[in-house]
Amino acid sequence: MDNLAMRLVTQWIKNYPMLIHCTWVSDRWHYEQGCLLKGIHDVYMHTGENDLLEYIRTNMDRYVENDGNIRTYREQDYNLDQINNGKMLLQLYRYTGKEKYALAAKKLIAQMNNQPRTKSGGFWHKKIYPHQMWLDGHYMAMPFLAEYGIMFGEGHYIDEAVRQLLLMEDKARDSQTGLLYHGWDESRGQRWSNPVTGQSPQIWGRGMGWFAMALVDTLPFLEGHVGREKVAAMLQRCSEAVLNVQDTQTGLWYQVMNHGTRQGNFLEASASSMFTYTLKKGNTLGILGPEMAEAAKRAYQGIINNFLYKDREGMLSVKQNCKVAGLGGNPYRDGSYTYYVSEPIVEDDLKSLGACIMALSAVEYL
Catalytic residue, from 42, 136, 185, 349: name it: 136
Secondary structure letter of residue 336 according to DSSP: -
C-alpha closest to that of 221 among 150, 139, 285: 150
Q: Which amino acid is at 239?
A: S
- What is the 3 state secondary structure string of 275-323? HHHHHHHHHHCCCCCHHHHHHHHHHHHHHHHHCEEECCCCCEEECCEEC
28 contact partners, CB below 8 Å, separation of at least 6: 72
Active-site annotation holds for 42: no
User: Phi, psi (5° rounding) for residue 32?
Assistant: -65, -35
- Cβ distance 41 to 88 under 8 Å? yes
Selection from 228, 236, 229 nearest residue 278 by Cα: 236
| Sign of the dihedral through C-alpha 351, 354, 358, 359 | positive
Task: For residue 37, give the 3-state DSSP assignment.
Answer: helix
Give every CB contact of residue 242 below 8 A, 6+ residues apart in sequence.
Answer: 179, 208, 212, 253, 257, 275, 278, 279
CA-to-CA distance for 21 and 218, rounded, in angstroms?
Answer: 32
Catalytic residues, by residue number, are 136
